[in-house]
A and B are shown apart, each in its own frame.
Chain A
Amino acid sequence: MTHAEMNELYELYVLGSLEPAEAAEIDEHVRTGCDYCLQRLQDALAVTSAMCGLAEPQTPPRRLRGRILAAVKPQKRSQAWIFALAGLSAACAALIVFSVWSATNMDRYRAHAAELEAQRNQLRSAVEILSRSETRTVQFGHANNQPRGRVFVNPQQGLVFVGSQLPQLASDQTFQLWLIPASGAPESAGLFRPNAAGNFVDVRTTPVDTTRIQAVAVSVEPPGGSPAPTTKPILVVPLG
């Protein structure tokens, strides 16, 4: 096929309207790098593009322009991004709440652990006091519905005060244990509160001068205790 013959075919070639044999022949020729054919094909593209005028003019809906531009314009903050941000904020808030909750619980656990540690140490001290041969035992309270229990006193190790049937305290009250010397002011031996059944265990781990201390006493005091008894003792147990 000569160029003169192909001149009538380039547009049909571009449109895909040639018979397969004719199209194959032009394909083969173009692949040889023929500049003339390439230029004619480029011209043919312009001619076939002009054929768009064959279509009856139509006016696209106005919304189409906005739809296309919206599709290519970067969204400053898309709905998905807002949802993602909201989700992230919620996650952060949840994390903060969880952290506070964890910290609070951690503090609670630490306080509970410290309390258990103190109770364990108190129990060890109590066992130490009770196991010593020099520890003396004083029993008190024999009447029904009255406080009753025992005081275990070791001059070097301290004392263990165990009892039951103590009266219930108001929320702003506590029991305070006193060591009553033969002369002078009572000495505080610590604060304690019985459990719901009225049972209690109090341990003092400092030496008790049994030559000087004649009795232990319990009084009701305000929270935090008092330097000296502010109420009449509900219980006095002589150690002699």
Chain B
Amino acid sequence: MIPKDAGDTELIEELRARDADALAIVYDRYGHLAYSVFVRVTRDQSIAEDLVQELFIRVWNRAKDFDPHKGKLSVWILSIARNIAIDHVRSAQARFQSNLRPLEQTDQLLFSYKPQEPESIIDNAKAVSRALSELNTNQRKVLEMAYFEGFSQSEIATRLQEPLGTVKSWMRAALARMRAAVKLGVTG
């Protein structure tokens, strides 16, 4: 029996071995986060449930392709969740141009992902939560429009009826807080 506090490597190994208990642990860790994102994006709990199932079936079927030594399971799962959500909105409303990076490209990035620090966004949930709570209304708004709705900065500016430069400024400040929260830092 796999322990509930198993690490990414052990979970992935068990998922590759088709151990449903491992998927149960993964679901317990990330299922509520994914569900929250799907409800926020779709505004429909029933659709959100379907999308959560789609997410974890995809994790189950693609675990063999994921190398835990190169990436974090949490980043991989939540990135897939966000792509599923946006793809659903786009397919349902067909109102966006395809600026979102295709899921396959995101996966390639994740499969070669080498975190500089061991902490994950989940491990550092308090810092992330604090960073989000410290965003002002405008910063939070532009971040939400980009994350949940896939809008470009110019589209956000149009919808908010604000100058593009202002929107970029809000966005820049919001992202800086987020970067700091996940302790990745940008040194370029």
Give A contacts to B, CB under 8 Å: 3-4, 6-8, 11-20, 23, 36, 38-43, 45-61, 64-65, 67-69, 71-74
Q: Number of B residues whose C-beta is below 8 Å from A?
A: 72
The reply to whether B37 and A49 form a contact with Cβ atoms under 8 Å apart is no
Whole-angstrom distance between the alpha carbons of A88 and B148 in the complex?
52
B64 at the interface (CB under 8 A from A): no
Task: A12-B153, A36-B188 given; name 19 further pairs at CB < 8 Å.
Answer: A3-B188, A8-B175, A14-B106, A17-B153, A18-B153, A19-B152, A48-B79, A52-B33, A52-B81, A52-B82, A54-B143, A56-B36, A59-B32, A64-B35, A64-B49, A65-B27, A68-B53, A69-B23, A72-B57
In the assembled complex, how far is the CB of residue A15 from the closest CB belonging to chain B, in whole angstroms? Answer: 5
Nearest-neighbor residue (CB-CB) of B81 within chain A: A52
Whole-angstrom distance between the alpha carbons of A45 and B112 in the complex?
12
Interface majority SS on B: helix, strand, loop or mixed? helix
B47 at the interface (CB under 8 A from A): no
The reply to whether A50 and B178 form a contact with Cβ atoms under 8 Å apart is yes
In the assembled complex, how far is the CB of residue A69 from the closest CB belonging to chain B, in whole angstroms? Answer: 5
In the assembled complex, how far is the CB of residue A63 from the closest CB belonging to chain B, in whole angstroms? Answer: 9
Q: Decide yes or no: A57 and B150 within 8 Å by CB, A11-B178, A40-B188 being known contacts.
A: no
Q: Decide yes or no: A57 and B178 within 8 Å by CB, A12-B171, A42-B113, A64-B49 being known contacts.
A: no
B11 at the interface (CB under 8 A from A): no
Whole-angstrom distance between the alpha carbons of A16 and B87 in the complex?
12
> Looking at the complex, which one of A3, A15, A49, A58 makes contact with B78 (CB distance below 8 Å)?
A49
The reply to whether B23 and A46 form a contact with Cβ atoms under 8 Å apart is no
B91 at the interface (CB under 8 A from A): no
The reply to whether B178 and A51 form a contact with Cβ atoms under 8 Å apart is yes
Q: Decide yes or no: A47 and B178 within 8 Å by CB, A65-B24, A68-B57 being known contacts.
A: yes
In the assembled complex, how far is the CB of residue B147 from the closest CB belonging to chain A, in whole angstroms? Answer: 4
Q: For A4, A41, A50, which residue has the most chain B Cβ atoms within 10 angstroms?
A: A50
B56 at the interface (CB under 8 A from A): yes
The reply to whether B148 and A55 form a contact with Cβ atoms under 8 Å apart is yes
Q: Decide yes or no: A7 and B186 within 8 Å by CB, A50-B178, A54-B148 being known contacts.
A: yes
> Looking at the complex, which one of B20, B74, B175 makes contact with A11 (CB distance below 8 Å)?
B175
Q: Which 9 pairs show the lowest CB-CB distances between chains A and B?
A: A16-B100, A49-B78, A55-B40, A60-B35, A55-B36, A50-B121, A16-B99, A42-B113, A17-B146
Q: Decide yes or no: A46 and B184 within 8 Å by CB, A16-B99, A69-B24, A72-B60 being known contacts.
A: yes
Whole-angstrom distance between the alpha carbons of A138 and B128 in the complex?
125
Write out, one digit per residue, whether chain B residues 127-151 have a CB within 8 A of any chain A CB (1) or not (0): 0110010000000100110111011
Nearest-neighbor residue (CB-CB) of A39 within chain B: B114
User: A39 — which chain B residues lie within 8 A by C-beta?
Assistant: 114
Q: For A13, A71, A74, which residue has the most chain B Cβ atoms within 10 angstroms?
A: A71
Whole-angstrom distance between the alpha carbons of A240 and B114 in the complex?
124
User: A73 — which chain B residues lie within 8 A by C-beta?
Assistant: 20
> Looking at the complex, which one of A6, A49, A54 makes contact with B140 (CB distance below 8 Å)?
A54
In the assembled complex, how far is the CB of residue B18 from the closest CB belonging to chain A, in whole angstroms? Answer: 8
B120 at the interface (CB under 8 A from A): yes
Write 25 A-B pairs (CB below 8 A) sorted by A numbering.
A4-B188, A7-B186, A7-B188, A14-B101, A16-B152, A17-B99, A17-B146, A42-B110, A43-B115, A45-B75, A45-B110, A51-B147, A52-B36, A54-B132, A55-B37, A59-B35, A60-B31, A64-B53, A65-B24, A68-B31, A68-B52, A69-B23, A69-B24, A72-B18, A72-B20
